[in-house]
Structures are given as structure tokens and as C-alpha cells.
A and B are shown apart, each in its own frame.
Chain A
Amino acid sequence: MTVYRPPVIPASEITPRSVYLRRREFMGIMAGAGLALGVGEARAEAPATVPLKTVPSRYKVDEPVTSREDITTYNNFYEFGTDKPDPSRHSGDFKPRPWTITVDGLVGKPQTFDVDKLIAELPIEERIYRMRCVEAWSMVIPWDGFPLKALLDKVEPLGSAKYVAFETVVRPKEMPGQSGYFQPMPWPYVEGLRLDEAMHPLAILAVGLYGQTLPNQNGAPLRLVVPWKYGFKGIKSIVRISLVEKQPPNSWNSLQANEYGFYANVNPEVDHPRWSQATERRIGESGFFGSGRRPTLMFNGYADEVASLYAGMDLRANY
């Protein structure tokens, strides 16, 4: 039987009282190191959002709307970190204004637009959409925005334009996820749509949420919302939109082609290789003790509006 014998502690190993008394300082330094690793608490409060003048629209889901708290603290926006609360905690330094967006490529009138001028000029509609993440959770979000078509019409797409490519801003100094050792993906984040998808009335550029301009963590000042597709198609903080002839790359597809396709239409019958897409958990619906699982709907419940876009297409091959 081994008996534990406490080792004799040499005097050199004993922490001097003066150092011991400074232990809080040491804790502070360690906490700082933790923060640098992206595990710490909030650094700066996000700048306040401003009210928007909105008009109602016929596109509204008749389901309970997810709380603003949940919508603004549970985000995938890897430019600010990969953990769900990271974007709300680490986007305080991001400056969404002034902001311009360039629309170019195969268009008659390439232009650069000021976001606030677009907001003043175009009717901002309230659209209450379902949002289904590829990770099998969902929300109902009251977006404020305008149809993407309204912007594309201004630049007069040429007949040769078949696809629309989108690009997120790159600002490592304001977006901590874009600097440091641990960068989950190459920047800029890019996305794409087929031109007919982009022209669909359901596809919008959102500039607000709950009647206020977009918080940084939700993609300020302007982001794409395509409610019948998985959330990762909704590219945030867009600086450039280009009309192109060939299918443009999209970030998740480039990173993991067997798991994330170009189309990424919500489809309960086509599973992600690592998990089923048949059901989803509605955030905030039943808290901790009810599972809140509900069946996922084809095209996220927008089949009546969008199924015709994919008539005759093999949705299993074009996931």
C-alpha cells in the first residue's frame, strides 16, 4: 500500500508574501490572455441603433416572433468570432457608417451607393421571415429592408449576367475574427445567387431589425436575407455586389464542398452529412425543459413562392 507523503517544500518554492498579495493582478493578466483568445467578456458596447421609417408588407410569418434579445445575442458572424455570443460582444469597434456599396460587373450602369441615401430613397418594408440555420436551429425575425431587385434594377443588368456575387467587408482592426492566429476561414466572406433567385420578391437587403437600423452583430449596415435558404447564404456587411456570367464561389462551399452547396435551399429531406435536417429547434420557444423541436418545412415554408425556381432540378445533387 502506497502512502502519500507530502514532499518537503524548499524555501525557494514558497511564494513570497509580496507576490502572493499581488495575485489579483496575476488573475487580471490571465483574464486578459483569455480575452485575447476570444473567451472573455464584452469590451465595448455596440453603438446605438436608430429608428427606421418602415411600411408594412404582405410577407409576414404568422408565428411568434423571436425576441430582440435572442436575435442580437445568438449570431453566426465569424468575422467577430465563432462562438454564438461573440458577435454581440466583440463588434463594438465596428463602424457601419458612413458606408458605400459598389454594384458592378455585367451591368449597364455600375454605381457606388451610399447606404443612408438608399434607405432615404427606397421604401423600407417590414418583412417577418423564418430564419433556418444549417445547424438546425431557427428563429422568426422582423427584418426591415428593400427587395434586392430594387437595387439591381438601378444598375441595369446586361443579358449576359446570370449570377450575382456578394462580398463582405474586410476590416481586421474592427473585426477581431479577421485578425490573430485563429481565423476560421479566408476573407472576404463571399456568397452568390442565381440572377432569378436574386430578383425574387422574397430576396431582400435588410437594413434594420425590429424597426431600428441593424446592430453590428446582425450584419450592419446592410445584409442579404433569402428566407428559403440556410442562414449562411445571408451574407452580412456587404461592400460589393457584382453581376457575373458564371456561378461565383461561396465561402462555406469553398471550405467544405460536401457539406455546403451553392444553392443551400432549406430541405428537410436532404441531410447535412453530420446531422439530420428533418427537424429544427426554434430558439426561445420552449426554454430549457421543452425541446422546442419542430419539423423543418420544404424551402423553409416558402415552397409556394419559390419552388418553381427549381422545377426539374435534382435538389439532392444541387444541395
Chain B
Amino acid sequence: MASTRSALVDGLIGWGTYVVGLVPAAVYFWLGATGGLGADPVRSFEQTLGLWALRFLILTLAITPLRQLVRINLLRYRRALGLLAFWYAVMHFTVYLTLDRGLIWSTIIPDIARRPFITLGFAALVLLVPLAITSNRWSIRRLGKNWRMLHRLVYVAISLAAIHYLLATKVLDPTQALHFALVVMLLGYRLARGVFVRRPERRIA
């Protein structure tokens, strides 16, 4: 009884997070479709989706330090935040393929293969795919310890995504610097904790 109720609550929280999380995409799509995104709406929409993908990755990785450092437990939101990051990355890539590059594969494929800027972003998205697929209770039970190992890929994915974002413009701007610094801090926290704390608490979350 207790577990079904908690599953229901978790489900509601999950769906609530998705709905709220998809608001930026919906708002920017509406603005783009109605001429509210300036002279180059495609670029603006594409970049916004990519930025939100990175933001949701950052939020996903912020859950653990928040819990360990300031005892705020937002663990129940993490799956939804991670999946939002994945879906934003998918939307970002879809807009790149369609609205931006017009599905001209003869120029898209060489770009993905040869340009580090684009290759890195693509690799980050590919790494998120197995994480998204295994983000359910069944996979967690099924994979056991391996699930934890597998989901460490998120550290690689966020690193690639952050570098991809840095390479997206001609010069660094404050927004980029802020997001990059957050990623460095979140990864640095894991590194420091691995070095200084002998055994992190192993409570089942």
C-alpha cells in the first residue's frame, strides 16, 4: 500500500516536472512560429534548446551535492530532469537537421564526422541515449551495480556538451562562462569527494 501510494506520488511529481520542464521549448517554439525571435529565429530556437539541454544536465548533477552539502533532497526529480535534458538534446539536434540544415545530408554528415564542434555535441547526445533508455525501475533492478557504472556516462556527456557550447560562438560570452563554470564545479565536486572522502555514504536512494 505504502509503495503504491509512493509510486503514484512519484509519478505525479515526474509528470509535473516534465510539464514544467517543457515550458521553455513550448514558449520558444510559439515565439519562433509567430515571428517573436528576431531576425534569425531558427538559430535562436536551436541555441535555446541546446542551452536548456545543458541546463537540465546541470540540474541533474546538482541533486547529489545539494543532498550531501545542504541536505536538500530532490532525488525524486532527478530522473525527470535527466530525461528532460535528453529530450532537449533530441529537439536541439532535430532543429539542427531540419530547420537549420534543411536535411541536406551531403553537408550534414561531413560536418558531424569532421568538425570537432559538431562531433562533440553529437557524441554527447549519443551518450545520453543508453541513459535515457535505462532510466526506469526495471532497468535499475535488472542492471544492479552496472546501472550505477553506466550512468556515470553522464559525466562524459556533460563535459562534451559544455565544450560543444563553448565552441558554438566566436568569443566567450558571460552566459557561456557561467554555465561552463557550473559544469566544472559539479564535476570538480565529484573529483574532490572521491579524493578526500574515503567512503561516500552508500544509502540506497
Interface residues of A, Cβ cutoff 8 Å to B = 1-4, 37-39, 69-70, 73-74, 78, 82-85, 134-135, 137, 182, 184-185, 252, 255-256, 273-276, 278-279, 281, 283-284, 287-293
Interface size class of B (residues with CB under 8 A): 35 or more
Residues of B within 8 A of A2 (CB): 73, 75, 205
A-B contact pairs, 9 of them (CB 8 A): A2-B205, A38-B174, A39-B175, A74-B38, A137-B43, A274-B115, A274-B116, A279-B104, A287-B41
Cross-chain contact B107 with A279 (CB below 8 angstroms): yes
Cross-chain contact A274 with B167 (CB below 8 angstroms): yes
Residues of B within 8 A of A275 (CB): 111, 115, 117-118
The list of the 9 closest CB pairs from A to B, nearest first, reads: A291-B102, A74-B39, A184-B171, A70-B39, A274-B117, A293-B102, A288-B32, A82-B173, A288-B41
- Nearest chain B CB to A104's CB is how many angstroms away? 30
Cross-chain contact B110 with A78 (CB below 8 angstroms): no
Alpha-carbon separation in the docked complex, A3 to B3 (Å): 10
Cross-chain contact B42 with A276 (CB below 8 angstroms): no
Alpha-carbon separation in the docked complex, A256 to B167 (Å): 13
Cross-chain contact A73 with B39 (CB below 8 angstroms): yes
- Nearest chain B CB to A282's CB is how many angstroms away? 10
Which residue in B3, B39, B104 is a CB contact (below 8 Å) of A283?
A: B39
- B61-77 contacts to A, CB under 8 A, are 73, 75-76
Residues of A within 8 A of B102 (CB): 290-291, 293
Which residue in B6, B37, B40 is a CB contact (below 8 Å) of A3?
A: B6
- B94-136 contacts to A, CB under 8 A, are 98-102, 104, 107, 110-111, 115-118
Which residue in B32, B38, B98, B107 is a CB contact (below 8 Å) of A84?
A: B38
- Nearest chain A CB to B71's CB is how many angstroms away? 8
Cross-chain contact B172 with A184 (CB below 8 angstroms): yes
B145 at the A interface (CB under 8 A): no
Contacts A4-B76, A278-B107, A289-B99; is A184 near B173 (CB within 8 Å)? yes
Cross-chain contact B110 with A276 (CB below 8 angstroms): yes
Alpha-carbon separation in the docked complex, A143 to B189 (Å): 54
Contact indicator per residue, chain B 20-59, by CB within 8 Å of chain A (1) or not (0)? 0000000000001101011111110100000000000000
- Nearest chain B CB to A284's CB is how many angstroms away? 6
Cross-chain contact A74 with B40 (CB below 8 angstroms): yes
- Nearest chain A CB to B51's CB is how many angstroms away? 13
- Nearest chain A CB to B76's CB is how many angstroms away? 7
Alpha-carbon separation in the docked complex, A275 to B37 (Å): 23
Residues of B within 8 A of A69 (CB): 39
Cross-chain contact B169 with A276 (CB below 8 angstroms): no
- Nearest chain A CB to B156's CB is how many angstroms away? 21
B170 at the A interface (CB under 8 A): yes
B192 at the A interface (CB under 8 A): no
Which residue in B2, B35, B101, B171 is a CB contact (below 8 Å) of A291?
A: B101
Residues of A within 8 A of B171 (CB): 78, 82, 184-185, 255
Contacts A1-B6, A84-B39; is A293 near B173 (CB within 8 Å)? no
- Nearest chain B CB to A12's CB is how many angstroms away? 16
Residues of A within 8 A of B100 (CB): 281, 291
Alpha-carbon separation in the docked complex, A182 to B107 (Å): 35
- Nearest chain A CB to B33's CB is how many angstroms away? 5
Residues of A within 8 A of B75 (CB): 2
Alpha-carbon separation in the docked complex, A125 to B60 (Å): 58
Q: Which chain B residue shows the least CB distance to A255? A: B171
Q: Which chain B residue shows the least CB distance to A78? A: B171
Task: Knowing that A73-B38, A288-B33 touch, tell me 14 more A-B residue pairs with CB under 8 angstroms.
Answer: A1-B3, A38-B174, A39-B174, A74-B40, A134-B170, A182-B177, A185-B171, A273-B115, A274-B117, A275-B111, A281-B40, A281-B100, A283-B39, A289-B33
Alpha-carbon separation in the docked complex, A1 to B8 (Å): 14
Cross-chain contact B173 with A283 (CB below 8 angstroms): no
- Nearest chain B CB to A235's CB is how many angstroms away? 16
